[in-house]
Amino acid sequence: MPGIIFYHCPMTRSAIARWTLEEVGEPYTIETVDVRAGAGGRTPAYLKINPMGKVPAIKHGDVVVAENAAIAAYLGDAFPDKNLAPKIGDPTRGEYLRLLFWAANCIEPAMMQAHLKFETQRGQAGWGDAELVFDVLAQTVARTPWLLGDQFSMADVIVGSGVAFGRQFGMIPERPEFEDYLARINARPARQRAQKLEMEAAEAAHKAAGAAT
Ligand SMILES: N[C@@H](CCC(=O)N[C@@H](CS)C(=O)NCC(=O)O)C(=O)O
């Protein structure tokens, strides 16, 4: 099995990919792309990995994948024995894919709409509007224990990370469904490991910056 390279910058949206990697539990090496310094991800070498110049991305053998939801989908399929993705032919596979795409296409813009406070026409914007997305999100995360039922999946990582990010920055309203779901995802050992690693990396970067001044 080829190794996994993780193009990462601590305390950014690439923390989501870190959670996917911790759920998979295979070794990975980190290539830090400090998107807050200098050219960030806009170097010729990294733009070949992700033309957006953004983290995260992974390389697994010759396969390069950027975008959190795509990384989750890829890893879920690449490591079928980890049971993080319904297999092709499984009746829950359609809902699984819908949730991954829906999170990227609808939750993220809805959070931005709530944050930046602009109007959309429900029938025109792909995500409708923030109120519609948050209502559907509340119904979605009320499924227990996980979004597909008994089986935790990468859809929980992607939708759950959206809920966690949105609640942390006040971009998603407080609702009991969101708080209950956050309690369930926060109890995942892989999420706890990923968060601890993120804190350690952030502290190390802070110390290194202090030492340099
Ligand atoms: N849609 C992307 C979003 C990634 C993203 O926004 N990454 C930010 C960090 S939170 C970034 O790399 N920003 C640096 C830049 O754009 O220069 C995903 O889900 O992977």
Give CA separation, 42 vs 39, 46, 52, 55, 128, in Å: 5, 7, 8, 11, 32
- The mean pLDDT value of the chain amounts to 96
For the domain covering 93-190, report its CATH number: 1.20.1050.10
Class of domain 4-82: alpha beta
Q: Where are the domains of the chain?
A: 4-82, 93-190
Partner residues linked to 58 by β-bridges: 6, 65
The list of the chain residues with pLDDT below 70 reads 1, 212-213
DSSP letters, 56-89, are -EEEETTEEEESHHHHHHHHHHH-GGG--SPPTT
Q: What are phi and psi of 91, to 5 degrees?
A: -60, -20
Q: What is the pTM of this model?
A: 0.96
**Does any ligand 1 atom lie closer than 6 A to the CB of residue 41?**
yes
Query: Which pLDDT score is estimated for 213?
Result: 62
Centroid of ligand 1 to alpha carbon of 61 (angstroms): 23
Centroid of ligand 1 to alpha carbon of 35 (angstroms): 9
